[in-house]
Amino acid sequence: MPQEKTISIQIEGGSAKPGPPLGPTLSSLGLNVKQVIDEINEKTKDFKGMTVPVKITVDMSTKSYRIEVGIPTVTALLLKEAGAEAPSGDPAHKKIGDVSLESIVKVAIMIKPKITAKTLKLAVKSVLGTAKSIGLTVDGKDPKDLIKDVDSGAFDDLLNKHEKEWESK
Protein backbone atom coordinates (compact mmCIF):
# COMPACT_ATOMS: atom_id res chain seq x y z
CA MET A 1 0.00 0.00 0.00
CA PRO A 2 1.58 3.30 -1.04
CA GLN A 3 2.39 5.79 1.64
CA GLU A 4 1.08 9.24 0.82
CA LYS A 5 1.78 12.65 2.24
CA THR A 6 -0.61 15.54 1.75
CA ILE A 7 0.22 19.22 1.79
CA SER A 8 -2.64 21.67 2.12
CA ILE A 9 -1.93 25.31 1.32
CA GLN A 10 -3.70 28.55 0.55
CA ILE A 11 -2.17 30.50 -2.32
CA GLU A 12 -3.04 33.46 -4.47
CA GLY A 13 -4.28 32.09 -7.77
CA GLY A 14 -1.53 31.87 -10.39
CA SER A 15 1.09 33.20 -7.98
CA ALA A 16 2.62 30.24 -6.14
CA LYS A 17 6.31 30.84 -5.42
CA PRO A 18 9.14 28.35 -4.83
CA GLY A 19 10.17 30.10 -1.62
CA PRO A 20 9.32 29.08 1.93
CA PRO A 21 7.25 27.40 3.13
CA LEU A 22 6.15 25.59 -0.04
CA GLY A 23 9.47 25.20 -1.89
CA PRO A 24 11.43 23.62 0.94
CA THR A 25 8.51 21.32 1.78
CA LEU A 26 8.25 20.08 -1.82
CA SER A 27 12.02 19.68 -2.02
CA SER A 28 12.12 17.64 1.20
CA LEU A 29 9.57 15.26 -0.35
CA GLY A 30 11.87 14.73 -3.35
CA LEU A 31 9.77 16.63 -5.87
CA ASN A 32 10.86 18.94 -8.68
CA VAL A 33 9.84 22.25 -7.06
CA LYS A 34 9.71 24.27 -10.29
CA GLN A 35 7.56 21.66 -12.03
CA VAL A 36 5.05 21.49 -9.15
CA ILE A 37 4.91 25.30 -8.78
CA ASP A 38 4.38 25.75 -12.53
CA GLU A 39 1.55 23.19 -12.49
CA ILE A 40 -0.12 24.87 -9.48
CA ASN A 41 0.10 28.27 -11.19
CA GLU A 42 -1.39 26.86 -14.40
CA LYS A 43 -4.27 25.20 -12.54
CA THR A 44 -5.04 28.32 -10.47
CA LYS A 45 -4.51 31.06 -13.09
CA ASP A 46 -8.28 31.65 -13.45
CA PHE A 47 -8.39 32.66 -9.78
CA LYS A 48 -5.74 35.40 -10.06
CA GLY A 49 -5.98 37.82 -7.14
CA MET A 50 -8.01 35.37 -5.01
CA THR A 51 -6.90 33.00 -2.28
CA VAL A 52 -7.36 29.42 -3.41
CA PRO A 53 -7.05 26.23 -1.36
CA VAL A 54 -4.68 23.72 -2.96
CA LYS A 55 -3.97 20.15 -1.88
CA ILE A 56 -0.88 18.28 -3.10
CA THR A 57 -0.89 14.53 -2.48
CA VAL A 58 2.48 12.81 -2.93
CA ASP A 59 3.04 9.07 -3.29
CA MET A 60 6.28 8.70 -1.32
CA SER A 61 7.35 5.48 -3.04
CA THR A 62 7.03 6.72 -6.64
CA LYS A 63 7.34 10.50 -6.02
CA SER A 64 4.27 10.98 -8.20
CA TYR A 65 1.82 13.63 -7.09
CA ARG A 66 -1.58 15.05 -7.82
CA ILE A 67 -2.77 18.59 -7.33
CA GLU A 68 -6.35 19.38 -6.37
CA VAL A 69 -7.48 22.98 -6.58
CA GLY A 70 -10.35 24.04 -4.37
CA ILE A 71 -12.81 26.83 -4.99
CA PRO A 72 -12.52 30.33 -3.53
CA THR A 73 -15.40 31.63 -1.44
CA VAL A 74 -18.57 32.91 -3.10
CA THR A 75 -17.71 36.36 -1.76
CA ALA A 76 -14.26 36.27 -3.41
CA LEU A 77 -15.74 35.12 -6.72
CA LEU A 78 -18.39 37.86 -6.66
CA LEU A 79 -15.85 40.54 -5.76
CA LYS A 80 -13.74 39.44 -8.74
CA GLU A 81 -16.77 39.59 -11.05
CA ALA A 82 -17.56 43.09 -9.77
CA GLY A 83 -13.95 44.27 -9.87
CA ALA A 84 -14.25 45.26 -6.21
CA GLU A 85 -11.68 44.90 -3.46
CA ALA A 86 -13.80 44.15 -0.39
CA PRO A 87 -17.39 43.90 0.84
CA SER A 88 -19.00 47.24 1.65
CA GLY A 89 -19.46 46.71 5.38
CA ASP A 90 -22.83 48.47 5.05
CA PRO A 91 -24.57 46.67 2.17
CA ALA A 92 -27.92 48.35 2.79
CA HIS A 93 -26.51 51.83 2.14
CA LYS A 94 -23.16 51.48 0.38
CA LYS A 95 -22.98 49.59 -2.91
CA ILE A 96 -19.61 48.37 -4.11
CA GLY A 97 -20.49 47.38 -7.63
CA ASP A 98 -22.85 45.81 -10.09
CA VAL A 99 -22.68 42.40 -11.75
CA SER A 100 -24.82 40.76 -14.39
CA LEU A 101 -27.21 37.92 -13.73
CA GLU A 102 -25.06 35.95 -16.18
CA SER A 103 -22.13 36.46 -13.73
CA ILE A 104 -24.30 35.22 -10.87
CA VAL A 105 -25.09 32.05 -12.86
CA LYS A 106 -21.38 31.62 -13.68
CA VAL A 107 -20.46 31.79 -9.98
CA ALA A 108 -23.29 29.39 -9.06
CA ILE A 109 -21.98 26.83 -11.55
CA MET A 110 -18.40 27.31 -10.35
CA ILE A 111 -19.29 26.61 -6.71
CA LYS A 112 -21.51 23.58 -7.34
CA PRO A 113 -19.04 21.08 -5.86
CA LYS A 114 -19.05 22.84 -2.50
CA ILE A 115 -22.70 23.78 -1.96
CA THR A 116 -25.77 21.74 -1.09
CA ALA A 117 -28.15 23.33 -3.60
CA LYS A 118 -29.85 20.61 -5.61
CA THR A 119 -30.68 22.79 -8.62
CA LEU A 120 -29.15 25.67 -10.53
CA LYS A 121 -32.12 27.82 -9.57
CA LEU A 122 -31.46 27.27 -5.84
CA ALA A 123 -27.74 27.92 -6.29
CA VAL A 124 -28.44 31.18 -8.13
CA LYS A 125 -30.74 32.30 -5.31
CA SER A 126 -27.99 31.51 -2.79
CA VAL A 127 -25.40 33.51 -4.76
CA LEU A 128 -27.87 36.41 -5.08
CA GLY A 129 -28.20 36.38 -1.28
CA THR A 130 -24.43 36.64 -0.92
CA ALA A 131 -24.34 39.46 -3.49
CA LYS A 132 -26.89 41.38 -1.42
CA SER A 133 -24.97 40.80 1.81
CA ILE A 134 -21.72 42.25 0.44
CA GLY A 135 -23.27 45.30 -1.22
CA LEU A 136 -23.59 44.33 -4.88
CA THR A 137 -26.42 45.09 -7.23
CA VAL A 138 -27.29 42.76 -10.10
CA ASP A 139 -28.13 44.34 -13.43
CA GLY A 140 -28.72 47.56 -11.49
CA LYS A 141 -31.29 45.97 -9.16
CA ASP A 142 -31.37 44.83 -5.55
CA PRO A 143 -30.56 41.09 -5.50
CA LYS A 144 -33.54 40.52 -3.18
CA ASP A 145 -35.87 41.64 -5.99
CA LEU A 146 -34.16 39.27 -8.42
CA ILE A 147 -34.66 36.36 -6.03
CA LYS A 148 -38.41 36.97 -6.35
CA ASP A 149 -38.05 37.10 -10.14
CA VAL A 150 -36.11 33.80 -10.12
CA ASP A 151 -38.89 32.23 -8.02
CA SER A 152 -41.55 33.47 -10.42
CA GLY A 153 -39.77 31.89 -13.40
CA ALA A 154 -38.75 35.16 -15.04
CA PHE A 155 -35.24 33.82 -15.73
CA ASP A 156 -36.07 30.21 -16.57
CA ASP A 157 -34.78 30.66 -20.15
CA LEU A 158 -31.37 31.81 -18.88
CA LEU A 159 -31.21 29.04 -16.29
CA ASN A 160 -32.26 26.38 -18.78
CA LYS A 161 -29.51 27.57 -21.13
CA HIS A 162 -26.94 26.72 -18.41
CA GLU A 163 -28.57 23.57 -17.05
CA LYS A 164 -26.23 21.16 -18.90
CA GLU A 165 -23.18 23.03 -17.61
CA TRP A 166 -24.59 22.80 -14.06
CA GLU A 167 -25.25 19.08 -14.37
CA SER A 168 -21.77 18.36 -15.70
CA LYS A 169 -20.07 19.81 -12.59
pLDDT in tens, the chain (169 residues): 569 999 999 998 899 999 888 999 999 999 999 999 999 999 998 888 888 899 999 999 998 999 999 988 898 899 888 887 777 677 666 788 899 999 999 999 988 888 888 999 999 999 999 999 989 999 999 999 999 999 999 999 999 999 888 888 7
For the chain, which domains are there?
Answer: 4-69 (3.30.1550.10), 74-168 (1.10.10.250)
Peptide bond into 91 cis (omega under 30): no
Three-class secondary structure of residue 36 per DSSP: helix
- Shortest CA distance to 96 belongs to which of 87, 109, 105, 108? 87
**Which helix (H) or strand (E) segment is 27 a member of?**
helix 22-28
Global pTM? 0.76
For residues 139 and 134, what is the distance between their CA atoms, to the nearest angstrom?
Answer: 15
Q: Which residues contact 122 (CB under 8 A, 6 or more apart)?
A: none
CB–CB of 53/113 below 8 Å?
A: no
